[in-house]
Amino acid sequence: MRGVASFCFALAVLCGRSAAKPNIVIIFADDLGWGDLSCYGHPTIATPNLDQMAREGIRFTQFYTANAICTPSRAALLTGRLPVRSGMYGTWNNSATNVMTQVLHADGTGNLPKNETTLPAQLKAGGHYHSKIIGKWHLGIQPDSWPLAYGFDEFFGTPMMHGPNEGNQSVFPDMQLINNTKVVGRLYKDIDIHMLNIQYIEAAVSYIKTRAADDSTPFFLYFAPDNTHIPLFASPRFQNTSARGLYGDCVQELDYGVGQVLTTIKQLGIENNTFVFFTSDNGPDRRPDVCKSLPGEYCDPTTGGSAGLLRGGKSTTWEGGIREPGIGWWPGVIKPGQVTMEIGSVMDLFGTAMGIAGIPLPSDRVMDTVSLLPTLEGKGPSRDHLFHWRGNKLMAVRLGPYKAHFYTEGELEWNSPPLQEHNPPILYHIEHDPSENYPIDKQSPDYAPTMEAIKNLVASHLGNLTYGTPQMNICDKHECLWRPDLPVPPSKPYNCCQDPCSTW
Amino acid sequence: MRGVASFCFALAVLCGRSAAKPNIVIIFADDLGWGDLSCYGHPTIATPNLDQMAREGIRFTQFYTANAICTPSRAALLTGRLPVRSGMYGTWNNSATNVMTQVLHADGTGNLPKNETTLPAQLKAGGHYHSKIIGKWHLGIQPDSWPLAYGFDEFFGTPMMHGPNEGNQSVFPDMQLINNTKVVGRLYKDIDIHMLNIQYIEAAVSYIKTRAADDSTPFFLYFAPDNTHIPLFASPRFQNTSARGLYGDCVQELDYGVGQVLTTIKQLGIENNTFVFFTSDNGPDRRPDVCKSLPGEYCDPTTGGSAGLLRGGKSTTWEGGIREPGIGWWPGVIKPGQVTMEIGSVMDLFGTAMGIAGIPLPSDRVMDTVSLLPTLEGKGPSRDHLFHWRGNKLMAVRLGPYKAHFYTEGELEWNSPPLQEHNPPILYHIEHDPSENYPIDKQSPDYAPTMEAIKNLVASHLGNLTYGTPQMNICDKHECLWRPDLPVPPSKPYNCCQDPCSTW
């Protein structure tokens, strides 16, 4: 399949539009834990569709996000680059917690810099792909930085999550639901929030059907439902269906959505020409306190997902914050029933898509992506290391089976315990000890040579690193301008531009 | 199949020996954690055979042992009764930890009381079954209480685990390997310990082949390999094969053994007449300190298995100590690919076997077993509650999705933290909160009615409870007689009968 694609790419004129490249569908869940699917061992959440996807495809046990929270992870997916290069990060600041500095909030004026090369733009330029994003964007809140400004042909979704954002609606107005560039309405007020994800699923099915009718143009669907970010809502059909409670209902609705997508693809007979990958943006949210501040229906203290046997969760660079379910599916190309322990990253979906479409990677910038095709095809590893950043700090490095923590922050809950530097670094054999319980003794014969290899890798990494302009600094007047075109009332409680950092 | 069996049971004379009842194979691992198989979510242990068994059969996500450690769990399997009834328990004693009081040790003179009705004896009496136990017995260390005294036709294995037991070999001589009643040799000294489990696997395959040749007599194989109890040994073929290290090698050897059993059954064409169930005796061992005292090769601090997202491990009545993988397989009867959240217990394998063989349960004693056939056949729950005992203490009770802890002990490591009574009890919704992180508020509307139902259940349970004579009290001269026929030198460091309890 790859061969055909490459051949057609080389002979584009001869192959023309009639030899369509494979379609690409990326399904990107929100705050789903590594342990939340039945095929990853959850005891009381039923995910028959994702389990079947895994049986028909390949299930990664060591698949990683590019960042432990939302915005930078999504930026890395669409750029194939670490957020610290693209600018989708915040700088550490003693008066701001990591939570606040590193996603775009409702008043955020940062955005994915326009000179970044995005996946949909590349697919269009190199392969005439038609593309749509359905669901959560979160790479620019202002209208001039919505998806159509970055190469997507269509958009149906919201600029960020489905709020109410860190407060209540009297302070933060509801998020807009947008069709391309037009505001369809506001969540809660105009849109039944319980049906939001069902609307997204229907839009995904509809898009696939529409695009499949045009067999000369391949499509790229980036399907990013709000499940399972808090506040939790399940549609009536899924309410009280899961033994796990409301969180389980939402995972089961997500699972249904995946089933609808795959069933549609099969019904249209395009399954041998459509690559689908399922993963999530970061680990499970574990903030009972935040949860309690939300309106009663949304969550209970057991709301957060599970990272299974992994340590930590969302916002941390412990494995629980960055390792995710990862399932690849492409009948006829990916051998069914594979379970792989090879390392993969959300950033690699960029390189994989380029590989599938036969389009070369951008050569004018440093890319952090590789193609996962060798692993998907059962031929072996695609990469052997990963850099785990948070903001402008390189927190941890994975090399082969080892992982070194230079910094840690959060484990029990977000920023608790607080940021700690580790010098010498804490080293784990992450495959022997996936729960990060047993640091390798600094006197052991493994420690020094492994750390030397990791430090060399880091030196080379930092050597070619140009930091992007940070888009998510809040406590810096130059980065945080309150804009009157935003629907944020001046009474909002943490406008850092009116009220400097010291009040955080 | 059950219908046919019952019919033949009723008309035994007419059906005679030519209509053989279904064969029964129980595979009982040792100290395997709930999270240690790939199909239960372990990231770096490959268990393709068990995964396939699950795909071809039914996988339980809430399957429980009857006790958090070895001897009582195995007793419950073979009697269908709680250890506190059969006598396979120890009484709590301030000077003895739970570890010591509740399994038979090398100097143990206790044994499964001879008036207990065992599974092999019932199967023989009611269904002319031929039976064999291969592997670890652990229900009587003395020769007069080896398996053939309890209804098994054949035995190949050891009276207890494969030592060296809590010490070193100069203090504790090696355990005997026994063929029926004859000592074949001693582990380590005469038997290559690395090949012990392979010997067991070969014996299992050989037994199945031999018995299948006699199609008039059904067989019961109780296959209880030593994997994955410490000290860990993998045969050369499996050494360094697992990304998880030595522990993973041992799980993968175990997985291979399961594959050999199932493949043999298929090759013989008896799969539609053979029920196989896989589970383990208790949760993962988490004793790095004990581990460190063993010879170097045996383990490293990361040796213990994983309970996945469950709390605690071996010896505790947190879920990690008592919940186990549970996989049922019976082509043609059990629908393939089922994942069930219904509750099942190791004790229920007794009732299930009786159901399969069409033999009524013993009516002369209180039984704690139910048949799992309704669940195996996808028809619904088999039981809705479970009593979690340790010794003579009722620690916790499961009722529907709820679990109440009356006592807890151990979590980080065996008896740390120490025994604690909870009055009022700690209540969890174990299906919403499988990790037991969020106790239900005692003021919440759920608490009082749920606890009332549980307390009524407990009152009824204790009302019909006759405590068996405890077989595993150590610090009681009447229970702990050092016998000269045992290969334990008088120099052993903790002979409580020479050196009373106070020295513990």
Tens digits of per-residue pLDDT, B332-389?
999 999 999 999 999 999 999 999 999 999 999 999 999 999 999 999 999 999 999 9
- pLDDT higher than threshold 80 for residue B479: no
**pLDDT at res. B301:** 59
- pLDDT higher than threshold 60 for residue B99: no
Here the tokens at position A258 are: 């995946």
CB contact under 8 A, B434 and A43: yes
Q: Which residue of A has its CA nearest to B47?
A: A339
Helix (H, G, I), strand (E, B) or coil at B193: helix
Here the tokens at position A172 are: 């933060």
CB contact under 8 A, A44 and B341: yes
**pLDDT at res. B92:** 73
- pLDDT higher than threshold 60 for residue B55: yes
A250 is catalytic: no
Here the tokens at position A138 are: 């979160």
Number of neighbouring beta carbons within 10 Å of residue B485: 8
Chain A contact set for B42 (CB, 8 A): 41, 61, 309, 434
Residues 379-418 of A with CB under 8 A from B: 401
What is this structure's pTM? 0.91
Give the residue-averaged pLDDT of B73-98: 83
**pLDDT at res. A504:** 29
- CA dist., res. A339 & res. B33, Å (int): 20
Phi, psi values for residue A135, rounded to 5°: 115, -135
Q: What is the DSSP letter of A283?
A: -
Among the partner residues A41, A243, A437, nearest to B40 by beta-carbon distance: A41
Out of B42, B105, B130, B138, the active site residue is B138
| pLDDT band at residue B133 using 50, 70 and 90 as cut-offs | very high
- CA dist., res. A377 & res. A454, Å (int): 29
- CA dist., res. B58 & res. A236, Å (int): 30
Note whether B176 and B183 are within 8 A (CB). Answer: yes
- CA dist., res. A383 & res. A371, Å (int): 9
DSSP states of B301-312:
TT-S---TTSS-
Higher pLDDT, A481 or B228: B228
Torsion of CA B484, B485, B491, B495, to 10 degrees: -80
Helix (H, G, I), strand (E, B) or coil at B293: helix
Chain A contact set for B427 (CB, 8 A): none
Exposure class string for B123-136: b at 16+ Cβ within 10 A, else e? bbebbbbbbbbbbb
Mean pLDDT of chain B: 86
Here the tokens at position B169 are: 């070999």
Tell whether B378 is within 8 A of chain A (Cβ). no
Nearest to B57 by CA among B271, B352, B370, B358: B271
- CA dist., res. A189 & res. B463, Å (int): 58
- Return the residue matching tokens 């952090």: A368
Top-confidence range, B163-167, B469-473, B497-501: B469-473
Chain A contact set for B308 (CB, 8 A): 35, 41, 308-309
Strand A154-158 relative to strand A130-136, pairing:
parallel
**pLDDT at res. B95:** 42
Write out the E strands in A105-218.
Answer: 130-136, 154-158, 176-179, 182-186
CB contact under 8 A, A243 and B302: no
Whole-angstrom CA distances from A94 to A412, A422, B8, B304 are 20, 18, 78, 40
Tell whether A64 is within 8 A of chain B (Cβ). no
- CA dist., res. B190 & res. B145, Å (int): 23
Q: Which residues pair with B130 in a beta bridge?
A: B219
CB contact under 8 A, A61 and B55: no
| Residues whose CB falls within 8 Å of the CB of residue B154, separated by 6 or more in sequence, listed in order | B131, B132, B133, B148, B180, B207
- CA dist., res. A179 & res. A158, Å (int): 9
- CA dist., res. B160 & res. B151, Å (int): 18
Higher pLDDT, A175 or B101: A175
Helix (H, G, I), strand (E, B) or coil at A475: coil
Tell whether A339 is within 8 A of chain B (Cβ). yes
Q: Minimal Cα–Cα distance from A209 to chain B, Å?
A: 30
- The answer for A409, left when phi > 0, alpha when psi is -120 to 50, beta otherwise, is beta
Among the partner residues A62, A248, A438, nearest to B301 by beta-carbon distance: A438
**pLDDT at res. A170:** 52
Task: Find the largest Cα–Cα distance for chain B.
Answer: 64
Share of chain B above pLDDT 70, in %: 81
Tell whether A167 is within 8 A of chain B (Cβ). no
CB contact under 8 A, A44 and B61: yes
**pLDDT at res. A412:** 65
Tell whether B214 is within 8 A of chain A (Cβ). no
CB contact under 8 A, A306 and B302: no
Q: Which residue of B has its CA nearest to A60?
A: B43
Q: What is the DSSP letter of B96?
A: B
Q: Which residue of A has its CA nearest to B430?
A: A244
Number of neighbouring beta carbons within 10 Å of residue A23: 26
Here the tokens at position A366 are: 């440093």
Q: What is the ipTM of this complex?
A: 0.89
Here the tokens at position B255 are: 């997985």
Write out the E strands in B70-172.
Answer: 130-136, 154-158
Nearest to A141 by CA among A472, A470, A468, A391: A472
Tens digits of per-residue pLDDT, B9-22? 444 444 443 458 99
- Return the residue matching tokens 């941390």: A316
- Return the residue matching tokens 């202002």: A142
CB pairs under 8 A between A and B: 108
- pLDDT higher than threshold 50 for residue B4: no
**pLDDT at res. A296:** 44
- CA dist., res. B398 & res. B391, Å (int): 17
**pLDDT at res. A285:** 87
| pLDDT band at residue B291 using 50, 70 and 90 as cut-offs | low
- CA dist., res. B172 & res. B454, Å (int): 45
Here the tokens at position A205 are: 């099915």
- CA dist., res. B390 & res. B315, Å (int): 8
Q: Which residues pair with A176 in a beta bridge?
A: A186
Q: Minimal Cα–Cα distance from A56 to chain B, Å?
A: 12
- CA dist., res. A67 & res. A339, Å (int): 24
Helix (H) or strand (E) holding A74: helix A70-79
**pLDDT at res. A268:** 98
Tens digits of per-residue pLDDT, B241-266? 999 999 999 999 999 999 999 999 99
Residues 11-40 of A with CB under 8 A from B: 35, 38-40
- The pLDDT averaged over each successive group of 10 residues in chain A (504 residues) is 43 47 98 97 98 98 95 97 94 54 73 96 97 96 93 96 57 80 90 95 98 94 94 93 94 98 98 98 75 52 84 92 98 97 98 98 97 96 96 95 94 73 96 92 95 98 93 53 36 37 32
CB contact under 8 A, A44 and B431: yes
Q: Minimal Cα–Cα distance from B460 to chain A, Å?
A: 28
B461 is catalytic: no
CB contact under 8 A, B434 and A306: yes
**Amino acid at site A139:** L
